[in-house]
Chains A and B, each alone.
Chain A
Amino acid sequence: MTLLRTPTALLGFTILVVLALIALLAPLLFPADPLAIAGPALLRPFQDASLPLGTDRLGRDVLAELVHGARTSLLVGLAAAATSIIVGSVVGTLAGFIGGIVDEVLMRITDAFQTVPGFLLALAFVSVVGPSLPVVVLAIALSAWTGPARVARAEVLSIRERDYVAGARAIGMHPLKIAFREVLPNALPPVLALSSVIVAAAVLTEAALSFLGLGDPNRITWGGMIAEGRAVLRSAPYLSIIPGIALVVTVLGVYLAGEGVVEASAARKVRA
């Protein structure tokens, strides 16, 4: 496969596959409630074979928390990225295809969402609506849809002048049908190229929100674990450092895999 030819892409995809497996198999790997007390409090990592990463302030198994936290991170990251790409490409297609006043209004709204710092917007949205998993996903998507919208619009603007679109118009196809059946699918590749950056940003934003105590309170999150560990930062820094490393590995995996896809498609273009 061309996709796995470069070492960085291979590394990225390996990280993502392992993470996805861990997230999917978490209930099998650690069937016990990860929030239950598993041993003495503040046990250091690598001391006890049954608790390899030690325990936190309340004596909970850090490894079990980490594995269950992977579920939240990946779920929120993927769901928020999917939402923003879908909303963004619909808005961008409408703006680019219809043009005129619709384009003007939609693009000013996009400007407004890009002017407000996305993290502040997410913070305000979660604090007004109340923290839960779907709300966190929406809060992240609220500012992340603007990038896909701009790219989709630019792409649609060039596609709508092509002959096959004129042909579709000539046979009397409904304009909305042309926009979403004929134009949007062809405008998607450059929008999808943004997905690795959007997933990575979504994972980081989710971590920052739950670090500030705005994550879903019923779920374990890596950001929440870092915040928990912060209270004992002087005596037990490992509690904050371990979930942070998990975050870095996840986000790096997403970036490397994304670069691999871009390189592979560039190589395909060169050969074609």
Chain B
Amino acid sequence: MNRALRLIRRRLIASIPVLAIVVLGTFFLLEAAPGDAVDAYAASLGGDAGLSADLRAQWGLDQSVWGRLAAYLYALAHLDFGRSVIFSRPNLDVILERLPNTLLLMGSATALSFGLGSLLGIWAGAKPGSLRDRLLSVGSLAIYAVPGFWLGLVLIVIFAVQLRWLPLSGIETIASSKEGFARAGDIALHLILPVGALGLIYLALYLRMMRAGMTEVWRTDYVLAARARGLPRRRIVLRHVARNALTPLVTMLGVQSAAMLGGSVVIESVFSIPGLGRLAQESVAGRDTSLLLGIILISAVVVILINLIVDLAYALLDPRVGASEVQS
């Protein structure tokens, strides 16, 4: 367990400069945007020019760029992400309210693409060069070429408009007063199409990586040894080849988390899911720059945390990871 703790500590220390650069970046984008936090406050709560001048002095916005940067950092250190114009509430409250829906969407889509992708990858990689292998390779490439938002619209046309099997949009039936399992079932029903649209796109990535990994492993000596021992083919495929090709896919989960989060922006707008992505679109439409940059900061934190979890999982799967650092 000591190994895991060391890994966490090293990872957290490494993420400090990265977060600092993200904070600086958002500050300069905020500076480049027209209007400031006081304009936003006045727009949402009202007030005259005198109040605005007082507030600028109070929030340190009447100072030089460095003074404003210091005020921005001071506020962030106190978890003050500013105030949203369009919601007339603190940005952080709005963001945290929407975050669970996005995490649910991302998590389910990742489970779909990782699970189905690696299974199909094993199926393709069990017989490299076979017809099904080539069909799966080209087919997965074709799916990877599909824009997620368009796939979402096509799924809506087929399953919600034509067949009427699944709900059109939203995360749950409005004012249904469902509780417990009924509510969870309702949410699951609403999530089928958006999770399908987001998950299918990234499926190709895991499929191709799994297949490529398996073709590498097939050439190794221990697989040759297993075949020489006359083990059943199914056992060789699952126990010896697939198992060793699976570990690199776990690292991919972390790398892909930022792309998944970006992809959910458009998917949430297509399906009107009240998550972080839809919030980002609303803040763009409402010219609420401070809210948008708050979303960027929080999503950077989310990506860092997901990568930390993935690293830990990887260290558990592969005892060699982090072990060498004990000596160094």
Contacts and interface: CB of A to CB of B under 8 A. Distances in A.
Contact of B284 (A111, A112, A121, A214): A214
Interface stretch (A28-36, A80-88, A157-165, A240-248): A240-248
A247 B262 CA distance: 19
A114 interface: yes
Contacts of A121: 296
Contact of B144 (A112, A230, A255): A255
A127 B280 CA distance: 11
B21 A212 contact: no
A interface SS class = helix
Nearest to A212: B281
A129 B30 CA distance: 11
Contacts of B198: none
B263 A234 contact: no
Contacts of A252: 141-142, 145
A146 B299 CA distance: 18
B269 interface: yes
Given A226-B149, A233-B161, A119 B266 contact: yes
A120 B289 contact: no
A256 interface: yes
Contacts of B144: 255
12 contacts: A8-B138, A117-B296, A118-B259, A119-B265, A120-B262, A123-B265, A124-B29, A128-B32, A207-B149, A226-B153, A247-B150, A248-B145
Interface of B: 17-19, 21-22, 25, 29, 32-33, 138, 141-142, 144-150, 153-154, 156-157, 161, 258-259, 261-263, 265-266, 269, 280-281, 284-285, 287, 289, 292-293, 295-296, 299-300, 303-304
Interface of A: 8, 108-109, 111-112, 114-121, 123-125, 127-129, 200, 204, 207-208, 211-214, 223, 226, 230, 233-234, 237, 240-241, 244, 247-248, 251-252, 255-256, 259
